[in-house]
Structure 1
Amino acid sequence: MNDDQVVDAAIEAGFIDESATTRAKLVRLSTVKRERIDWLWEGYIARGKLHVIDGDPGLGKSTATADLAARITTGKPWPDGQPGCAPSGVVLLSAEDGLGDTIRPRLEAAGADLDRVVALTGITTVDLETGEMYERMPALPGDIGRIREAIHQVRAALVIIDPLMAYLGGDVNSHRDQDVRRALAPLAKMGEDTGAAIELIRHNNKGGGNNALYRGGGSIGIIGAARLGFTFARDPEDEHRVIVACTKANITAIPQSLAYHLVDSPEHGCARVEWHDGPVGYTAADLLAASHESADDRADRNDAAAWLRAYLLDNGGEAEALAVYKAGEKAGFTRDTLKRAKKRAGVKAEKGGFDAGWMWRFDDEESAEGRTEGSTKGAKSAPPGTLLPSLPSVLPSDDPTRCSRCGGPVWLGSGKCQGDCS
């Protein structure tokens, strides 16, 4: 019997009064011990918390999580250069890949300590009708106790469930918020009790829109239960590069987006992840918006990037944003197209001064010399624009600490603009 059944039986037998079972549990906050988030990888993976990774198939999400698992088992530094954690164990639940031909080679290619990794592949149980033993896949929430046992066996700091939908029990409707929360609440509690971070991997749904919170498969309750969420998407400027951007952060400010590409590891017969140095400017919304671009949209953006490089070169490498917009509109480009072309052109927006407007400048000398991807050949042209007086302009920011509307500072945590642009 579970606790509820025991209470019901006691009420029915008259041992306790039903009113005695409905007391509220109150905790005075002055008695609660203040604690800090215990980070495995500060800003990205927190001990004892649920994390969600979303992305389309074929991006190397499982290969990337194998790389993270390897770093946890060996204590190697994290992809952004932060010091690694103390070497710890990892528990894997993988429904889509074979242990011998895929998962072990990936881990070996990433340099993992295989003795610290266990895969929970099945649950052996008895058929109550026939008495025969059989094996089934682990299911949530029923088999959380088995996952807990695996965590203790290797002192795991990370549990990877890939993909989540394969491990939801048959009575759990993945599109029903109440079912999902009922399945994930005890998983979150187990993570809190053991100190293991839980990574839940999902495939994107086919829905549109630029809100990454709604792109992962299943109920919104899945990302709602997570404390950190990330989306994996192809770099709009480089099809061989994958961007990792944060979609949700309840326990920290939005961390910077990172990038990786897959390289062949012939000796292991698989691919491995190679992380790029430094953060990248894309947000999750940027990536999803780019994924919806048509071929005509991309062609317009390429033309606009070529025009923008030529325009800035003609103006000494920089120009006020409003002047760019005015000249660009004469050349046939909308403001939105110019904003999207800015990154491809190697251009950044910076405040000209305390009382000055926004300036568009080449991001580095290489961009200023016109050696970035693409050329000005065949681009639409316009005479150089006249610089306009300094006026406020509305520009998107690639910096998660800046407002996406006005470029000003935002309050960390909420992401809301400190100014009055909204």
Structure 2
Amino acid sequence: MTLVDASPLDVRDEATGVTLRSAERSIIGWVLDAANAATAEKVISGLLSAHFFDPAHETIFAVAAKNLGSPDVLQKCLADLVAPAAYRRVQQLPGGLAEYLSNSVHQAAYLGAEQVAGYYRQVMTAFSTRRIAELNGHIATALEAGDLTTVRLLSDDLREKVDAAVNGRPDSGKRRLRLTPASSFRIRGVKWVWDNRMPVGALTLIPGREGVGKSTFLAWMTSAITRGELPGMHYGTPKSVLYSASEDAWEYTIAPRMLAAGADMDRVFRIDAALEGDGYGGVVLPRDCRELVHAARDVDAALLACDPIISLVDERLNTFKAKELRTALEPLVSAAEEAEIGIGALVHFNKGQGSDVGTLISGARAWVEVARAVVAIGRDKEVDEYTCVVSQTKNNLGVGDLPNLTYTIDSHELLTSDGETANVGRLRWTGETDRGVEDLLAEAASGAVGSTGKSGKLMRELIDYVTGKCPTPMQAVSTADLIAEFEDEYKPDLIRQTLSRAVRKDLLWSPMRGAYRPLVHRPAGVTNA
């Protein structure tokens, strides 16, 4: 159906051969003819007064629809339309209201249902055209104002209108609900980029305070993916990684860090977006989400690494407002789901204190609400200044009771392109611990390091045991004795670590390596061995 005229009411439809004004009047005349009462409702099903362009026609149809099916529909409409509220909109009709309605009925007397249905489609097409133009105008205004939330909502509505027009579906002017039976969906299992920790097609946050090596951790993950060594769906198959970094330079920091981690450098891609005119800039969410799908497929990527993700969010969005933040994150998740990649997103903690990881993430709570997984990182200062703990503090799609992993960062020497040497941090896994990141945060908040969590309980039990076994200064308890006593409940490594912490904190006296006495038995001026 092609519209060939410009004036709204004088647009002539090629299929019907009449103008929009004539089509609207023909429908009204046909509806007001009592002889058509039996078929009128079926022929014009879904047609509303709001679909009419002429204000007088809109008013008349609203009254006619109310009286549809009545044997004296014309007389009832006349009576309703002379009321002051309605009459103001119909008093300018050519020849007056009564004559206009009578002539409309007479002119439509020879119309068949099929011809009226053609007029119905013409009216609906014109309405859709007006709505699309109106929405485009509102979107342009919202863009100028920087109101991206409104832009997103209106764009969704616009897509629906255009889809309806292209596919010949009538636009009711109202939102419609779609019902989809659960039986129509494929039953699929969750896939993991990192086994049981980072799901495919979802957002995984990697939060932590500054200085815990979040970027070095992300470099390790990138390296493992590019070499096919990360446990998960791609284990044994090298994949590419799209890497967006804004806080560090690629030549001085990012690329050397990847090289130190052992990454396949041909599979690590810095991702930028073309700017209007010349040059490239950073990826912007949600603007570039569609292109992310194509980029991931082009290079066979398994992960989008965001270092940090806050730098990707459109600067006009307030990340402390949940609704605005969701306008950036939800399209990103949809893109990841379509491209079948994971998203590893670094986020920073705020300056607050507490043990709840989600509350400490800077910005709106929507960060944690949209994310399906959170892999938090914290430093365990009671071990040493370099040991970090990795804990799964959220895992909607997998199991929650995953071991806490520990790593340290070693200095690795590289040869630069200039032939000089450079020292770069490289992650080295050191084992597991019963102390989770939230335990470490709680200890930091309370100021009592080592007092919470499973290891805090163990420390109190060790002190009590040593005190009970050593009533005199000459008695001592060995490491082997303590492991034998507590190994049913605690791992030997945790027992050794906790004993070391107790000695450093002056909670136990170690007169010689591997022997422990209560602190009260330590002579004045004597230090631990």
Return the TM-score normalized by structure 1.
Answer: 0.69
Q: CA deviation at 1:245?
A: 1.0
Identify unmatched segments of 5+ residues in structure 2.
1-135, 137-154, 416-421, 472-481, 510-516, 522-529
Distance in 1 (alpha carbons) for counterparts of 2:236 and 2:301: 12
- 1:208 is aligned to 2:361: no
What is the aligned partner in structure 1 of residue 378 from structure 2?
A: 233
1:213-262 deviation digits (Å, cap 9, x = unpaired): 11111111011101100211101422210111122110011122111110
Identify unmatched segments of 5+ residues in structure 1.
127-132, 318-326, 328-344, 352-359, 383-422
Distance in 2 (alpha carbons) for counterparts of 1:110 and 1:87: 15
Distance in 2 (alpha carbons) for counterparts of 1:110 and 1:234: 20
- 1:38 is aligned to 2:184: no
Q: CA deviation at 1:143?
A: 1.1
Out of 158, 182, 200, which is 2:303 matched to? 158
Q: CA deviation at 1:281?
A: 1.0
What is the aligned partner in structure 2 of residue 284 from structure 1?
A: 437
Out of 171, 179, 182, which is 2:316 matched to? 171
- The 5 A counterparts of 1:291-370 are 291-294=444-447, 297-298=448-449, 308-313=461-466, 315=468, 363=492, 367=496
CA distance change for structure 1 residues 303 and 379 in 2, over 3 Å: closer, same or farther?
A: farther
What is the aligned partner in structure 2 of residue 274 from structure 1?
A: 428
Share of identical aligned residues, percent? 24
Name the aligned partner's letter for residue 272 of structure 2: T
1:45-90 deviation digits (Å, cap 9, x = unpaired): 2211110010111111011111101110101255xx9993521110
Distance in 1 (alpha carbons) for counterparts of 2:498 and 2:361: 41
- The 5 A counterparts of 1:6-405 are 19=172, 21-78=174-231, 84-126=235-277, 133-238=278-383, 239-254=385-400, 255-267=402-414, 269=422, 270-277=424-431, 279-294=432-447, 297-298=448-449, 308-313=461-466, 315=468, 363=492, 367=496, 374=503, 376-377=508-509, 381=520
Distance in 2 (alpha carbons) for counterparts of 1:285 and 1:110: 27
Distance in 1 (alpha carbons) for counterparts of 2:412 and 2:247: 21
Q: CA deviation at 1:145?
A: 2.4
Larger Rg: 2
Distance in 1 (alpha carbons) for counterparts of 2:497 and 2:208: 35
CA distance change for structure 1 residues 237 and 115 in 2, over 3 Å: closer, same or farther?
A: same
CA distance change for structure 1 residues 41 and 366 in 2, over 3 Å: closer, same or farther?
A: closer
CA distance change for structure 1 residues 308 and 114 in 2, over 3 Å: closer, same or farther?
A: same
Aligned pairs, number: 335
CA distance change for structure 1 residues 207 and 33 in 2, over 3 Å: closer, same or farther?
A: same
Name the aligned partner's letter for residue 411 of structure 2: D
CA distance change for structure 1 residues 298 and 202 in 2, over 3 Å: closer, same or farther?
A: closer
Q: Find the residue that maps to 1:252 and give its secondary structure.
A: coil
Q: CA deviation at 1:188?
A: 0.5
Retained in 2: the 8 A contact 1:41–1:84?
no
Name the aligned partner's letter for residue 217 of structure 1: S
* Higher-RCO chain (CA-CA 8 Å, sequence separation at least 6): 1
Distance in 2 (alpha carbons) for counterparts of 1:176 and 1:8: 29
Retained in 2: the 8 A contact 1:40–1:85?
no
Distance in 1 (alpha carbons) for counterparts of 2:312 and 2:281: 11
Return the TM-score normalized by structure 2.
Answer: 0.56
Larger mean CA deviation between 147-156 and 175-184 belongs to 147-156
1:277-306 deviation digits (Å, cap 9, x = unpaired): 3x3212232021122243xx3498999988
Distance in 1 (alpha carbons) for counterparts of 2:284 and 2:493: 52
Q: Find the residue that maps to 2:318 and give its secondary structure.
A: coil
